[in-house]
Each structure stands twice: as C-alpha cells, then as structure tokens.
Amino acid sequence: MPHEYAASITGTVQVSGLYLLTRETDDTEALLSAVAQAIGGGARVLQYRDKSTDAGRRLEQAQALVGLCHRHRVPLIVNDDVQLARSVGAAGVHLGEHDAAIATARAELGPSSIIGVSCYNDLSDAAPAVAAGADYIALGAFFDSSTKPRARHAPLQLLRDARQFKVPVVAIGGINAANGAALVNAGADALAVLGAVWDAPDIGVAARAISSLFLRA
C-alpha cells in the first residue's frame, strides 16, 4: 500500500516544484546522500528511475528511498515498474507510452496512489490519460537533454494549452535554473530535472536554485 501522505498530495496538495529524477548508480549510500541534499534544497517529488536489469539493486534502493522520502514527506514515484512501486509502498508510479495501463496501475496501487503519465509533445494523449485517472501529465522535451538525446521536442505553448485538463503539468527535458523560469511562467506546475542537479558541484545548491523559480513565479 502507498504511504499515507500520497492521498494528501493527490488531494489538496498538487505535484509541484522541483521533481527530481534519480540517476542510476550501484552506490546506494551515495544515492541516498545525494537525494537527501536535494530534498534539503527544496525537491518536492522524487522519481526513482533505474532502467537496469539488476532487480536486487532496484528493490534495495527503492526501499531505502521510500524510507528517506517518507521521513521528509516527499512522495517517491517509481518509473515504469508498478510491481516495484507496490512492493516497496511507494507513493505512486510514472508510466510511459509502452508501460502498464493506468487502470492496471490503479488496481494494483490503490485509489490514493499517484499515477503520472508521459504525454511527450502530443496533447491528444492527455485527454484519454486524464479521463482514465492520471493524477498528472508530463510534457516535453522542452530543451535538449543528454539523458534522452532523441526525445521529441515540445513548444512552450503546449504547457499553456495543457491547463485545460485541470491536473498538474510536469515539464521535462534539459531543464536547469537558467531556462526553467520560462516553463514555470508558461504554466508548468513542476519541473522534472536530472542532469542539472546530479551534475552540479553542490546538489543542494542546484536544487535550491531550481526550486526558487517557483517562489519568484
């Protein structure tokens, strides 16, 4: 079952602010330390993203991150893997175009879970996703990304148009403190970030710089 704070986040508190994606690593202690620094810098949502086939590592890290995030009342979203999210009691799951159906994820994780869906650069995918029960939609890539160099690009207008769906909108793709303000001003509720935080010499400072974009807005 998802932790009890999931219901409050999908209810009165929206998915918002700095939405941090993890970087794959074998070093679980270093991962936890970096995530703690990012949360200290204002990260509001964490997505555990590990595309490896090391099931043992993924289970160990997801369990450890759930505990850390729970202590700080930050929701942990698991990328792609509904069963992993369920087994560790994560707050929810993020689904891509080739992942499980929203209805399947909801049945597995329960009504209070957070289910996010990637709609990339096509809002025609957003309406059915929201109708099926998605709690938020992710759009992008808005800028070039080293994580996904071949990602489809999305225009800023997409964020403005997405407001019609009345769910939180997460922008993704090459986002940093310098370019993120334009996305927030265009209507992004959250900024999904990986490289701009993980590659920074000080993770906490980098997280704070991106989190502050929402305070200015």
Q: Is it the case that residue 8 has pLDDT exceeding 90?
A: no
Tell me the sheet residues that pair with 140.
172
Q: Which of 121, 57, 133 is nearest to 92 (CA)?
A: 133
Note the Cα 40 to chain centre separation in Å.
Answer: 17
Domain boundaries, the chain: 5-216
Q: What confidence score (pLDDT) does residue 217 get?
A: 65
Q: How many CA atoms lie within 13 A of 119 on its CB side?
A: 28
- If you average pLDDT over residues 176-191, what whole number do you get? 97
Average of per-residue pLDDT values in the chain: 92
Q: Is it the case that residue 3 has pLDDT exceeding 60?
A: no
Q: What is the DSSP string of 33-86?
A: HHHHHHHHTTEEEEEE---SS-HHHHHHHHHHHHHHHHHTT--EEEES-HHHHH
User: Tokens 């309406």 appear where?
Assistant: 127
CATH class of 5-216: alpha beta
Whole-angstrom distance, CA of residue 79 vs CA of residue 60: 15
Q: What are 81-127's pLDDT values in tens digits?
A: 999 999 999 999 999 988 899 999 999 999 999 999 999 999 999 99
